[in-house]
Amino acid sequence: MPKIVIENLFNHTIDLAPSASKVIEIIHESGIDWMHACGKKGRCTTCKLIVKEGMDNLSELTDRELVYRNQGRLKANERLACQAVLKSGDLRVRVAEQNKFPHIIYSE
Ligand code: FES
């Protein structure tokens, strides 16, 4: 079964059935609060994922992500959780430092 591991959240692991859901929806449905200042519309980058493993398991970059990539605001190892869909396989990610919530305790 595919899974998403959030490294700096004590390796929180989400086991999931294959679906076409965006990564942020999977994370939210698992009960984890993940920043999404623009309402998941691809207009802010606060939902950024730092991808440690599994980049090839994600859908292609969307037009919104390409805008940020071309502006240098989305690095090669980063994706927007509100845009990327986990196609298959596993994903290992981190919460970006600037997008951590004050009410959540992170492991790193
Ligand atoms: S929530 Fe704003 S870009 Fe994803």
Indicate the pLDDT class of residue 18, thresholds 50, 70 and 90: low
Q: Ligand 1 site: residues with CB under 6 angstroms?
A: 36-38, 40, 42-47, 80, 82
| Residue 85: strand pairing partners | 22
User: Which of ligand 1's atoms lies nearest the C-alpha of 45?
Assistant: 3
The boundaries of the domain holding residue 75 are 3-99
User: Which of ligand 1's atoms lies nearest the C-alpha of 47?
Assistant: 4
The answer as to whether 105 is a domain residue is no
Q: How far is the CA of 17 from the centre of ligand 1 (A)?
A: 24
Q: How far is the CA of 81 from the centre of ligand 1 (A)?
A: 7
Number of domains in the chain: 1
For residues 23 and 40, the answer to whether their CB atoms sit within 8 Å is no
Percent of the chain with pLDDT over 90: 90
In terms of phi and psi (left: phi > 0; alpha: psi -120 to 50; beta: otherwise), the region of 71 is alpha
CATH code of residue 22: 3.10.20.30
Q: In whole angstroms, what is the distance from residue 48 CA to residue 100 CA?
A: 11
Beta strands in 18-108, from DSSP E residues, in sequence order: 48-53, 78-80, 91-95
Query: What average pLDDT does the segment 74-84 reach?
Result: 98
The answer as to whether 108 is a domain residue is no
